[in-house]
Amino acid sequence: MDFTTYLKHYPDKDGKFGKYGGAILPPELIPAFEEINEAYQTICKSSQFINELRRIRREFQGRPTPVYHCERLSGKIGSCQIYLKREDLNHTGAHKLNHCMGEGLLAKYMGKKKLIAETGAGQHGVALATAAAFFGLECEIHMGEVDIAKQAPNVKRMEILGAKVVPVTRGLKTLKEAVDSAFEAYAADYKNSIYCIGSVVGPHPFPLMVRDFQMVVGVEAREQFLEMTGFLPDVVCACVGGGSNSAGMFTPFLADPVEIVGVEPLGRGPKLGDHAASLTYGSEGAMHGFNSIMLKDEKGEPAPVYSIASGLDYPSVGPEHAFLHDVGRVKYEAVTDEETMEAFFKLSRYEGIIPAIESAHAVAFAMKKAREMGTGSILVNLSGRGDKDLEYVIEHYGNGNRFFEDEER
């Protein structure tokens, strides 16, 4: 496949990446998503929109974020050099604000008054509440009661930012029910509001739009890496939950002679229910309004999934990743909790960077790969910082000394 003209052809006008993607919607929501699509197709070409988003990224988000050479971590492993794209330094501490600010600006151009979304662990909710505060829009975040109890600090953050957190009490009271509840609220009020999806998932145009908003990560990183080293990296990698930080990082490298790897959470192991490695173990199926590859139970329903990183525990994946997987342009590998936590502590102790557990998956893969390659270079998208994970890590892993036992200090 020729990737030099890839962006012109994928997705097609129906939002398809090959057989994946599309917009599988109840009839009452079809006009709403068509309106978003038409608005986005026009606005994304407007120089006023592009310039305003550029200014927001520079002045509010603190972009460009740097690329950083991990000399100490690399040296502990061998001669292969690991570099990080520091999305942890983006305002609010992760890449999610890249698409939330884009979605907020789109809402403003469309004359909408309210942003609606669901959130699981609360990361998307906090990023969206931040965007809503910036643009002076209302924000309504649907969240399962179980998650509200588990993620108290994020609930407080959203409230401080002025968002309304709507507790969802039906079913298992977690993410799936929160999605249903948010969709219902949107269907009832789509003239006034816009639904903001938190990754490259959901019905068209979200997989396209969120990828476009995240592409700033890869565009910056490619230029910065070239400027620093004079070369392109041999390998580019990023963790994959729904797939937004990875899509943003990978897309600008698709036409380059670079090996691209998406890193999935293998959790406690390959048994169904112990991981969330959708591309590694899943098969074709539709959920949440789009067709992709997903993990299914015996009945063909989305399977229960587990990941130590709450941002990665999704049973499906963005349709573009399913496509890039099938055509073989991107490889998908999975790392375990244990490998992830080793990377978490090593990056912290050798470089002074505490990563989000999500991002530590990509670092864990890079460390394994560096050992295997011996020479060359690997560019990792460090999607977020680890402050949100500290309490959990301390409770379950203490100070991490056991990961350093066989090393001299």
Ligand X SMILES: *Cc1c(COP(=O)(O)O)cnc(C)c1O
Q: How far is the CB of 311 from ligand X (least distance, A)?
A: 3
Q: Which of residues 189-208 bind ligand X (CB under 6 A)?
A: 199
Burial class from Cβ neighbours inside 10 Å (0-12, 13-18, 19+) for residue 20 reads buried
Contacts with ligand X: how many residues (CB under 6 A)? 19
Of 302 and 384, CB closest to ligand X: 384
Give yes or no: 196 in active site.
no
Q: Does 242 engage in binding with ligand X (CB under 6 A)?
A: yes
Among 63, 96, 114, 296, binds ligand X (CB under 6 A): 96
Instruction: CB nearer to ligand X: give 224 or 359.
Output: 359
The residue with its CB nearest to ligand X is 384
The residue annotated as part of the active site, out of 9, 44, 69, 70, is: 70
Cα distances from 300 to residues 36, 125, 206, 266, in angstroms, run 31, 29, 25, 21
Decide if 396 is catalytic.
no
By CB under 6 A, name the one of 37, 65, 92, 123 that touches ligand X.
Answer: 123
Query: Is omega for the bond preceding 26 within 30 degrees of 0, making it cis?
Result: no
Q: Is residue 65 at the binding interface for ligand X, with CB under 6 A as the rule?
A: no
Does residue number 239 form part of the binding site for ligand X (CB under 6 A)?
A: yes
- Choosing from 11, 125, 207, 241, the residue that interacts with ligand X (CB under 6 A) is 241
Q: Which of 292, 102, 324 is nearest to 197 (CA)?
A: 102
Give, as ranges, the residues between 355 and 374 that touch ligand X (CB under 6 A). Answer: 356, 358-359
Q: Which of 131, 136, 180, 177 is nearest to 158 (CA)?
A: 131
Q: Are strands 20-21 and 67-70 parallel, antiparallel or unpaired?
A: unpaired
Q: Which of 311, 324, 333, 334 binds ligand X (CB under 6 A)?
A: 311
CB contact at 8 A, 383 and 389? no
Comparing CB distances to ligand X, the nearer of 86 and 173 is 86
What would the x/- binding string for ligand X be over residues 150 to 189, using CB under 6 A?
----------------------------------------
- Burial label, 31 (beta-carbon count in 10 A; 0-12, 13-18, 19+): exposed
The one catalytic residue in 80, 91, 95, 99 is 95
* Ranges within 244-283 binding ligand X (CB under 6 A): 244-246
* Backbone φ, ψ for residue 127 (5° rounding): -65, -40
**Residues carrying an active site annotation:** 70, 95
Point out which residues bind ligand X (CB under 6 A): 94, 96, 123, 199, 239-246, 311-312, 356, 358-359, 383-384
